[in-house]
Structure 1
């Protein structure tokens, strides 16, 4: 695990165990083929993305595959390393998988709950390139961008994450983030996110204010 602090809020970087990645991917691959279940677990109306599909994970499956325990452990370590406080509560509100293909995107948005996160379950072989020649500049298609505040001296305001299979990031619910569209392939960019509640007295930094 690593803790990043590129601007105000700290960000935890970790890796999803391969067993959990395989379990969730298998679950989604089966779900895609089940028309009735696919409609039942469609989560698109609740989310900001303009993407092919977004599926909410069933709580029982999330527990059985080890996903809830993984998120709880990540959240515990994230808060401990960020605040030196130990959470006693981790309540998963929801977790969902996003199936994104070329020219699709997730606009700048934030989540509910107290803490959130996003990571990568499947990646295309390429994200494409600029339409124009941009020299050595890196194309942002398919990247996860965390946004806080505005560009100032010694504050970049945006932390860009180049997707790597299995990598997962935890951050405060209010932290705005966006994913730019990619191009040049019909392959899938599959990600997973969550919202959760922790101890109110730890999250509410104004509770002890004078």
Structure 2
């Protein structure tokens, strides 16, 4: 491989020293986040949430947790389609994370996860280069005490927990996010994540996907 091409490919692994995560009141100090995976968060349109939920309602039990795949007509149908919207977000993510241009996203699967109380999602990783989670429904009511961290992996309230590394001083290793309808998270497929079970009435419903990416590397 030519030296210039190899340098371009390796550059995506180098942290940006200007990547600031906060602006402390003490202006002489700046906190940086130079290492680790990037997690993107955004909101998806309410009409898209409604479309996915209308399909899911036909396949979900009112009492039993379940998982099932979304068919192609739900993923690729409509203008813009779910695949189109997710593809644009992946493109933005790739630009921010690697400085590369997305050529195409090869979707492996989109699926629905429906959970009722006492149903966990054990810590796991996904296949492919990139994955995502979209919250479609949240439990009707959660005891506030469950939002206190009572496990190393996060809160026992149906939170989505991302885990990277282990317990080390001066190093963050856990991000625990509260489910909100419409919130959509993008992250590397290898990033460990899971959810503790919630206790309460209602359903925690989410959509997930895996994709393999083909990118174009810039010449600069």
Quick check: 1:109–1:178 contact (8 Å CA) kept in 2?
yes
Query: Does residue 95 in structure 1 map to residue 123 in structure 2?
Result: no
Residues 139 and 146 of structure 1: is their aligned pair in 2 closer, same or farther, counting only changes over 3 Å?
closer
> Matched residues in 2 for 1:146 and 1:32: separation?
26
Moved more, 145-154 or 110-119: 145-154
Measured after TM superposition, the shift of residue 84 of structure 1 is 1.3
1:95 Cα deviation after fit? 0.7
1:128 aligns with 2:143: yes
Paired position in structure 1 for 2:209: 194
User: Which structure 2 segments of 5+ residues have no match?
Assistant: 1-20, 22-32
Give the Å deviation of 1:196: 0.2
5+ long unaligned stretches in structure 1? 34-50, 203-210
Aligned to 2:101, the other structure's residue is in SS state coil
Change (3 A) 1:69 1:123: same
Instruction: Report how far residue 194 of structure 1 moved.
Output: 0.3
Residue 170 of structure 1 pairs with residue 186 of structure 2: yes
Q: Distance in 2 between matches of 1:91 and 1:123?
A: 29
Segments ≥4 residues shifted beyond 3 Å: 4-7
Answer yes or no: is the 8 Å Cα contact 1:6–1:156 preserved in 2. Answer: no
Provide, for residues 58-101 of structure 1, a one-character-per-residue CA deviation record: whole Å limited to 9, x for no partner.
12221114211111111101111111111101111001010011
Q: Deviations over 1:112-169 (max 9, x none)?
A: 01100112001112233548x99xxx95321000011112233221111111110000
Write the distance in 1 (CA, Å) between the matches of 2:161 and 2:188: 14
Q: What is the CA distance between 1:30 and its match in structure 2?
A: 2.1
Distance 1:26 1:192, change over 3 A: same
- Partner Cα distance (2:34, 2:65) in 1: 31
2:59 to 9, 23, 31: 31
Does residue 157 of structure 2 align to residue 141 of structure 1? yes
CA contact (8 A) 2:87 2:105 kept: yes
SS in 2 for 1:20: helix
Alignment partners' CA distance in 1, 2:76 and 2:215: 23
Query: Which 10-residue stretch deviates more, 141-150 or 121-130?
Result: 121-130
1:72 and 2:73 correspond:
no
Structure 2 CA distance for aligned equivalents of residues 93 and 194 of structure 1: 7
Given the two structures, how large is their TM-score scaled by the length of structure 1?
A: 0.77
> Is the 8 Å Cα contact of residues 7 and 155 (structure 1) preserved in structure 2?
no
Backbone CA RMSD of aligned residues: 2.4
Give aligned pairs, total.
177
